[in-house]
Chain A
Amino acid sequence: QPVLTQPPSASGTPGQRVTISCSGSSSNIGSNNVNWYQQLPGTAPKLLIYSNNQRPSGVPDRFSGSKSGTSASLAISGLQSEDEADYYCATWDVSLNGVFGGGTKLTVL
């Protein structure tokens, strides 16, 4: 059972805004930064958002992240077909060390 809780699926139509939630506890999200990864089929995960809301160079500004208390969210605006992928949140836990969410499969309808 993943330490961080994500909805298993999300969907939207092209151009829409979609948000994916990530819920944790005071020992992980509540005390550490959250990172988000995008995984396209058959490829390694790619860092999408780091330190809650920072985008690595090359990541479009359609992707944004936020954190409040023991929860975090990833928002994708202007949804495009190429955004169809699995999305994972991750952080550090004071007891367990590195932890991931269970992943959210995003479908672009």
Chain B
Amino acid sequence: QVQLQQSGPGLVKPSQTLSLTCAISGDSVSSNRAAWNWIRQSPSRGLEWLGRTYYKSKWYYDYAVSVESRITINADTSKNQFSLRLNSVTPEDTAVYYCASGEYSSSELSSWGQGALVTVSS
């Protein structure tokens, strides 16, 4: 049973970088069958998939078109965790952010973090 624990600041200033981390237990971030995803949810945009990373002999990254110029997802094998960085944030990026995992070969997300509200405000 994979468990995901999120951490990171709940308040970010406009134009700065949003950073969140998701610690993994019950699996390895470099598993050759799992993908590690970030999703966000806001009243105006609903659920929005942001991106994922997975390892299959090398690291792969898929990003949502809507944020691909601003997003970076990284895996840290030494800490068994993965992270989200979203640059140049605006109030539109205010949302509850979730990390989630599933099989890399399919799109289902079978384990979710607890969620974290991130507010973009000065």
Interface residues of A (CB under 8 A from B): 2, 32-33, 35, 37, 44-47, 50-51, 56, 88, 90-92, 95-103
Contacts and interface: CB of A to CB of B under 8 A. Distances in A.
B110 interface: yes
A44 B107 contact: no
Contacts of A45: 47, 98, 109, 112
Interface string B32-59: 0000010100000011110110000000
Contact of A44 (B37, B49, B51, B115): B115
Interface residues of B, number: 24
In order of increasing CB-CB distance, the 6 nearest A-B pairs are A98-B49, A50-B108, A44-B112, A100-B47, A35-B108, A92-B107
Interface of B: 37, 39, 46-49, 51-52, 62-65, 98, 100, 102, 106-110, 112-115
- B contact patch SS: strand
Nearest to A92: B107
A90 B107 contact: yes
Which of A88, A100, A101 counts the most B-chain CB atoms under 10 A from its CB?
Answer: A100
Contacts of B49: 90, 97-100
Given A33-B106, A33-B107, A98-B52, A2 B62 contact: no
Contacts of B107: 32-33, 35, 90-92, 98
A32 B51 CA distance: 17
Given A44-B114, A44-B115, A51-B106, A97 B65 contact: yes
